[in-house]
Structure formats: C-alpha cells, structure tokens
C-alpha cells in the first residue's frame, strides 16, 4: 500500500509539473483555485471512505473463492487478465453512468467541472464511489481477482485518470501514437465536451480500444477553447454539488 501511494504521489507530481510548464489551456489562477477546493474536498472524502469501507469490502470479496475459474498459475497472465477484466468493467460501468438516470445523478457532479486538470481525476461524488465499489464487488468475486492485483490495478487506474484528465499539451505525433493503445487527454477531453453527443462517447479508462470495439469512439479531437461541462447545465457551489444527486427533479 505504501509503495502504491508513493507511485501515485510521484505520478501526480510529474503530471502537475508538466501541466504547469506545458499547459494546453490557460487557466486563470482564481478559477483554478476555486475548482481545486471543490475537487480536493471530494478527494479527501473518498480517501477517508477507502480504508473505512471500500478496502475492507474489496479484501473480503477477493477472499470469496466460489469457483476455481479464471485463476492462472502464471502471475503475469493472471495480472493481465485481471487488468483487462477491470478495465472493460470500468468501460461498461462508465457507459451505464451516462445512460441510467439514477447513476447519472452522481456521475454528473464529475462532469460539471468547467475545465480539466489533474484534480478533475479525483472529483467524484462519494455516492458514485460507493455505487462503483458495490458493482465492482461482484466482478471481483466472479472473476477471482486477487487482492494484490486489485491494489496494483487501482493505482494504474488512478494514474491513467490523472493523465487523461490533465491539461498537458502533448506533442501531436506522440499523442496520436499513444492514443492507439491508451486513453490520452485529447480522447478524454472530448468526453467532457459540453455537447451531449461527445459527452456520450469515449468511455474508456486505461485502454482506448474498448471505444473502438463497442463503437463509442468520437472522431472529434481536443481543441483550444473547447467548452467543457454539461450541456444545459453549469458548475455549482460545493454544497449544491454534495446534495445535487439527492434533489428530486
């Protein structure tokens, strides 16, 4: 756990450094500060949830061996299988968050951020985090995902999320090559475009091929000045964001 936390911290520092030196979009300090306060609040809430609820439940799930399927003697194959299963699960879970109104109530808080940087990667309503953990619980049991693999993959997922939400201006050719395999900022920023048709595309988390495989890849590319957010809605105060999923509309 300590090594995982250290790797994530190093990843945040590296992305943060390049984001400040090579930004794609110029973000005013006051705007950035106001956003960061909200985003970091959600990160703190979810960080407290993890050891109290999510981690114990995940550990319990990894110990429930209902069958002997999907367990490989080769550690590398076992890890890669677990990685692919969890990543394709995240693709479909993310897609459902956009299609099912109850789930969208929570996920929509993430999309109300009106620009993107690495802090957007941790801006998730705690209700969404709990619901996601409950859904993942069944995936862990069904596919016999090991606890060690789960912890490592969670770290990879967070690093991937920090990277593709970031405001880094990558070299076009390098990003184009990377985009064939992993989700890059150009891919994921389109998912946060305020236009509904683009919001309902590019659901992948780590590997970009799921969107191509399931026909949800947008042909649009990130551009400077692209409007970020939710079509027909706008950013809210922190208190409103917390209570928004529970307000009947």
pLDDT tens digit sequence for 86-135: 999 999 999 999 999 999 999 999 999 999 999 999 999 999 999 999 99
**Pure H helices in 100-220:** 101-111, 126-142, 147-165, 172-179, 185-191, 196-199, 209-213
- On average, the pLDDT of the chain sits at 92
52 pLDDT above the threshold of 60: yes
Gyration radius of the chain over CA positions: 18
Cα 219 → chain centroid: 21
Lowest mean pLDDT among 22-26, 108-112, 237-241, 243-247: 22-26
Q: What was the pLDDT predicted at 4?
A: 64
The label of the residue with tokens 């808080």 reads 109
Mean pLDDT of the region 10-34 = 82
B/e letters for 140-159, b = 16+ CB within 10 Å, e = fewer, are: bbebbbbeebbbbbbbbbbb
Lowest mean pLDDT among 24-33, 40-49, 79-88, 154-163: 24-33
55 pLDDT above the threshold of 70: yes
Q: What was the pLDDT predicted at 18?
A: 92
Mean pLDDT of the region 125-149 = 96
Q: Are 11 and 162 in contact (CB under 8 A)?
A: yes
The label of the residue with tokens 């305020």 reads 194
- Name beta bridge partners: 182: 207
Ranges 1-5, 22-26, 166-170, most confident: 166-170
What pTM, to 2 d.p., does this model score?
0.93
Is 97 in a helix, a strand, or coil?
helix
- Name beta bridge partners: 78: none
């Amino acid at each position: 756990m300590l090594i995982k936390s250290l790797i994530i911290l190093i990843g945040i520092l590296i992305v943060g450094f390049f984001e400040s030196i090579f930004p794609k979009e110029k973000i005013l300090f006051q705007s950035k500060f106001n956003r960061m306060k909200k985003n970091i609040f959600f990160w703190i809430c979810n960080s407290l949830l993890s050891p109290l609820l999510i981690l114990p439940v995940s550990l319990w799930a990894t110990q429930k061996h209902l069958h002997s399927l999907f367990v490989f003697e080769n550690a590398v194959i076992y890890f890669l299988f677990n990685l692919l299963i969890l990543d394709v699960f995240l693709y479909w879970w993310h897609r459902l968050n956009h299609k099912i109104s109850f789930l969208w109530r929570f996920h929509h808080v993430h999309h109300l951020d009106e620009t993107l940087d690495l802090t957007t990667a941790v801006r998730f309503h705690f209700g969404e985090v709990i619901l996601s953990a409950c859904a993942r619980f069944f995936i862990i049991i069904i596919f016999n995902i090991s606890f060690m693999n789960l912890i490592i993959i969670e770290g990879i997922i967070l690093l991937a999320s920090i990277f593709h939400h970031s405001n880094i201006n990558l070299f076009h050719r390098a990003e184009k090559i990377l985009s064939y395999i992993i989700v890059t900022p150009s891919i994921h920023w389109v998912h946060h475009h305020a236009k509904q048709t683009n919001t309902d595309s590019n659901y992948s988390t780590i590997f970009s091929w799921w969107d191509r495989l399931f026909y949800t890849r947008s042909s649009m590319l990130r551009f400077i000045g692209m409007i970020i957010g939710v079509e027909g809605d706008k950013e809210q105060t922190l208190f409103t964001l917390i209570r928004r999923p529970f307000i009947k509309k």
